[in-house]
A = this chain, B = another copy of it.
Amino acid sequence: MKKVEIITRPFKLDEVKESLTKLGIKGMTVTEVKGFGRQRGHKEVYRGAEYQVDFMPKVKIEVVIEETLLPEVLQAVQEAARTGKVGDGKIFVFPVDDVIRIRTGESGREAI
């Protein structure tokens, strides 16, 4: 099992979710995060004081999947999230040791 962590633009959330759902993925977890990267930030001005803000609002989508699904998922997410402009974000893949569904106590694949 793998955890795929997608960091991308907030307004792409729905499209990424759709594309994952189409692959039969039934669960994911989303966090609002702030990203620092190549994408330049913006200026803010308050009473004449200028502030450069480097952090951009991003969403992090975490989804744990069976390893076999990985290529498809990576493919689908990239298609859904890509705009081609700087700031599209990253996909990270992490190893997972185990998964448990709290409700039933199932673990491993069945729990995903």
Contact = CB atoms under 8 A, between A and B. Distances in A.
Chain A: interface size category: 35 or more
B90 A27 contact: yes
Nearest to A67: B97
Nearest to A55: B30
Interface in A37-88: 37-38, 54-55, 58, 60, 64, 74, 77-78, 81-88
A30 B35 contact: yes
Contact of A27 (B37, B93, B95): B37
Contacts of A81: 102
Nearest to A84: B103
B84 A64 contact: no
